């Protein structure tokens, strides 16, 4: 059983180096090209079901993959649980300008520390606490039915899921980079999937 994790293609605000969070920002031209390249990489994998967030950059990435590969009948489930982490008051701000205002060290903590949340936003820990219950309740059961599942989501929602799947520490996961539109494929045995059922 395969679980394929994919961050959306480059968004317009990725291009502009702005905090995006839950703001609904579309893909850039480069992001659309990245999505087509991801489709090419996934073309020879049978995908039975896809999950994505409620944000259009992830949905558009998945749409391009479906259209490019001819997966017109691929079932899709969408949920806010897979949304990017909320950046609160930082959303829309340029990252470099924000570092000048608050200090580079503080902004780095907001971006990468596990438990630190930006003003009125979420920490990676908060994101983990909504992503993992959703994975266990909705995605894991599909894998346990021998389905190959594609999840198209965001840097931090995927980082939270990878932390769980690979049993990583907070120090390890905050250093993990999630590139745009590069598939990560996990091939699980039945025993591994059973272990996830009882894992906190």
Residue 93 near residue 128 (C-beta atoms within 8 A): no
Residue 129 near residue 165 (C-beta atoms within 8 A): no
Residue 173 near residue 124 (C-beta atoms within 8 A): yes
Residue 83 near residue 138 (C-beta atoms within 8 A): no
Please identify every residue annotated as catalytic: 8, 84
Cα torsion angle, 17, 22, 25, 28, sign: positive
Cα torsion angle, 13, 5, 141, 198, sign: negative
- Segment holding 49, helix H or strand E: strand 49-52
The C-alpha atoms of residue 49 and residue 56 are separated, in whole angstroms, by 18
Cα distances from 44 to residues 73, 101, 147, 189, in angstroms, run 16, 48, 15, 20
């Amino acid at each position: 059983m395969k679980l394929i994790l994919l961050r959306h293609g480059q968004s317009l605000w990725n291009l502009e180096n702005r905090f995006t969070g839950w703001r609904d920002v579309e893909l850039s031209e480069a992001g659309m090209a990245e999505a087509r390249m991801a489709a090419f990489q996934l073309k020879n994998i049978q995908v039975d079901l896809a999950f994505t967030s409620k944000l259009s950059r992830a949905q558009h990435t998945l749409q391009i993959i479906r259209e490019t590969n001819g997966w017109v009948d691929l079932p899709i489930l969408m949920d806010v649980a897979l949304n990017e982490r909320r950046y609160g008051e930082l959303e829309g701000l340029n990252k470099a300008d924000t570092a000048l205002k608050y200090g580079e060290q503080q902004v780095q903590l907001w971006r990468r520390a596990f438990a630190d949340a930006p003003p009125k936003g979420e920490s990676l820990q908060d994101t983990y606490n909504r992503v993992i219950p959703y994975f266990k309740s909705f995605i894991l059961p599909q894998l346990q039915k021998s389905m190959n599942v594609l999840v198209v989501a965001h840097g931090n929602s995927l980082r939270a899921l990878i932390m769980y799947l690979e049993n990583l520490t907070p120090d390890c996961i905050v250093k993990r980079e999630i590139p745009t539109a590069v598939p990560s494929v996990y091939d699980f045995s039945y025993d591994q999937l059973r272990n996830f059922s009882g894992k906190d």
